[in-house]
Amino acid sequence: MRRLPHALSVDDVAGLLDAAGTGDGPLPLRDRALLELLYATGARISEIVGLDVDGVGDSTAVRLLGKGSKERVVPVGSFARDALQAYLVRARPALAAAGRGTPALFLNTRGARMSRQTAWAALQASAARAGLTEHVSPHTLRHSFATHLLSGGADVRVVQELLGHASVTTTQIYTMVTPDALREVYAAAHPRAR
């Protein structure tokens, strides 16, 4: 039996994202925008740190370059748009001033493109501040994105497109049902389950 991907609860994701924006200076704004965008789009960490400012357009969608140089456009919700706007207006200019000018969306303290390792460290620091004791990685947010969409009633084919999976088989792992979920649905739906 295939193992289910690890996903955080909606409340744990909210706590993680809230913890990312704590503190002074440009880094909390950057980290909040980074994590909000990761969760809002289900993107891989390399896709997010690879974004350029012009890739976010009007911020209602982002253009991601995935595996095999496949491009996809993914919508962005209001929480991520607000965090992104705050970062672009109040934090990115300060970070960019330390560098030589780069089109990169997310910058490090030297004004250069943020690395995957720096993004990972920002996530780990936010998870610690949120009091999450389980392992949290950028891929955990991707799994959470897919799981939450499917739990909310999204079609598996739509989630496949949003994730950039070539095959729906890859996406279907998120549709696997846990024993607890089976019992819950059975108890609620079967007329003689009491």
Return the structure tokens found at 57: 């357009």
Tell me what percent of the residues of the chain surpass a pLDDT of 90: 45
Query: Measured in whole angstroms, how far is the alpha carbon of residue 75 from the centre of its chain?
Result: 12
User: Of 30, 92, 142, 143, which is the active-site residue?
Assistant: 142
Assigned CATH topology for domain 10-141: hpI Integrase; Chain A (1.10.443)
Residue predicted with more confidence, 144 or 161: 144
Beta bridge partners of 44: none
User: Of 70, 90, 139, 183, which is the active-site residue?
Assistant: 139
* pLDDT greater than 90 at residue 110: yes
In the residue annotation, 183 being an active-site residue is answered as no
Beta bridge partners of 107: 113
Contact assessment for residue 84 and residue 36, using Cβ atoms and an 8 Å cutoff: yes
In the residue annotation, 165 being an active-site residue is answered as yes
For tokens 């739906």, name the residue. Answer: 189
Beta bridge partners of 104: 52
Return the structure tokens found at 25: 């200076």
pTM (2 d.p.): 0.82
In the residue annotation, 139 being an active-site residue is answered as yes
In the residue annotation, 157 being an active-site residue is answered as no
The beta strand positions in the chain, using DSSP E, are 61-65, 71-75
pLDDT tens per residue across span 14-73:
999 999 988 889 999 999 999 999 999 989 899 999 999 988 867 788 888 877 777 888
In the residue annotation, 186 being an active-site residue is answered as no
Residues near 194 by beta carbon (within 8 Å), at least 6 away in sequence? 187
In the residue annotation, 92 being an active-site residue is answered as no
Average pLDDT over residues 168-193: 65
- List the Cα angle 16/115/30 in 5-degree steps: 45
Cα–Cα distance, 127 to 142 (Å, whole number): 15
Domain boundaries, the chain: 10-141
Residue predicted with more confidence, 48 or 152: 48
